[in-house]
Amino acid sequence: MTETNANIPLPPGFLLGAATSAHQVEGDNINSDWWAAEQKGLVPKSGLACDHYHKYEEDFEIAHGLGLNAFRISIEWARIEPAEGQFETREVEHYRKVLQAMKKQGLKRMVTLWHFSLPAWVAEKGGFENPQIIEAFARYAWFVANNLGDEIDLWCTINEPEVYVGQSYNQGKWPPFKSNYILLLRVLSHLAAAHKKAYDAIKQVLPKAQVGLAKNNMYYEPYHKGSPFDRALVWISKQISNHYFLDRINNKLDFIGLNYYFYKLMKLSFPGGFVDLNKNFVNQPGGPLENQKSDMGWRTFPEGIYHVLRDLKKYRKPIYITENGIANARDDMRSEFILEHLRWTAKAISEGSDVRGYFYWSLIDNYEWADGYGPLFGLVEVNRETLERKVRRSANVFHELLNQKEVVKN
């Protein structure tokens, strides 16, 4: 593996962490719509997942050992409220222990309230197609704030709204497995309303809470930079994908969580509309990181995070990079991937972007939704038979970063 150079000027107090989500790592989430879909064979079975539900102390100890000073988890709505209006004290106490274990390891605690999986009772009512669920989500947020708010440092209400509606209501790969553009727009609108209601509910209990959401933004680039058609296509794509949702909730955001994975090279073709030229991209042997693909076929383009961060400056909000990661079973790209994204992040910071942290996805190999256990994003390998954890060599990059004087451990 190429020796790394971690001399990256990150500001004092900058958070370096990793992220997970409840359904993807906990296991046995039997009261959710995803679990129901798994039992019907509509998506791969998650089973015990990584058994993080019982191994959380081990996982946070590993995170601390890697030199991380922050961690992002999600709380599973289906565990907290398995039936409408029925809140489980036992599960609340479980998550309290999880959050306290994070604090014990010196980890700043970021919590997401909803990361794709819904309680089965919510799904039976139509999920976020039903406007009544907006109030139900706000009630859940209020309950968590009342019962766990003293253990949460940073709040994300919703994870990747556009990804959810795209997979669930366009491609039909996730529950409820529909392809209906009208429903897609309705759900997206209701998610914006749900975020705002949840924001108010949290603030009612904890006026000083820092509340945002995790937003998946892409970097779009015109194939022909001098083409007005390609440039117009990029502008339209950015407005729809990157800004539409944020513009609707901007007055109810204390920070923006950025999930950055995708680079789109766009060309307008006649006839037939636009083309994302990355779909036919082939790895260039020995090429730089921007000329490679991950195991999921996603083209890596670290420079894109710089442009996306600059694009978010208009909102005048603090930014946390809540997800950025690579599926790389050979573990021969991950260190460079992390360092290059942080170098471009540091450049954005030097030009005025208020970026306060970076959370790698993911700490451990986990259940990647409709892709099952195939893609390996983890800093830590998980043996699928024994669930034993083994730290990958690439994870050492965080020790190098946190040894810098500029980064302060919590």
Q: How far is CA 354 from CA 157, 221, 350, in A?
A: 21, 23, 9
What is the torsion angle, in degrees rounded to the nearest 10, for the CA atoms of residue 137, residue 143, residue 147 and residue 151?
30
Q: How many CB atoms lie within 10 A of CB 1?
A: 13
Tell me what percent of the residues of the chain surpass a pLDDT of 90.
88
Cα diameter, the chain: 60
What pLDDT is attached to residue 275? 63
What pLDDT is attached to residue 410? 41
Q: Answer with the residue of higher pLDDT: 382 or 279.
A: 382
Q: What is the average per-residue pLDDT within 103-129? A: 98
Give DSSP secondary structure letters for 342-401: HHHHHHHHHTT--EEEEEEE-SB----GGGTT-----SEEE-TTT--EEE-GGGGHHHHH
What pLDDT is attached to residue 290? 77
Does this model's pTM top 0.75? My answer is: yes
Q: Write out pLDDT tens, residues 40-59.
A: 999 999 999 999 999 999 99
Per DSSP, which regions of 194-278 are E strands?
211-216, 219-222, 256-259, 263-269, 273-276
Report cis status (omega within 30 of 0) of the bond before 241: no
Using alpha carbons, select from 218, 238, 222, 219 the residue that is nearest to residue 230. Answer: 222
Q: How many CB atoms lie within 10 A of CB 241?
A: 18
pLDDT at 85 over 60: yes
d(CA 113, CA 75): 5
pLDDT at 282 over 80: no
pLDDT at 150 over 60: yes
What pLDDT is attached to residue 2? 30
Phi, psi of 364 (to 5 degrees): -125, 150
Q: Write out pLDDT tens, residues 368-408.
A: 999 999 999 999 999 999 999 999 999 999 988 876 644 44
d(CA 267, CA 273): 9
Please tell me what DSSP assigns to residue 42.
S
What pLDDT is attached to residue 126? 98
Q: Write out pLDDT tens, residues 313-350.
A: 999 999 999 999 999 999 999 999 999 999 999 999 99
What pLDDT is attached to residue 156? 98
Tell me what percent of the residues of the chain surpass a pLDDT of 70.
92
pLDDT at 1 over 50: no
Do β-strands 355-361 and 319-323 pair in parallel, antiparallel, or remain unpaired?
parallel
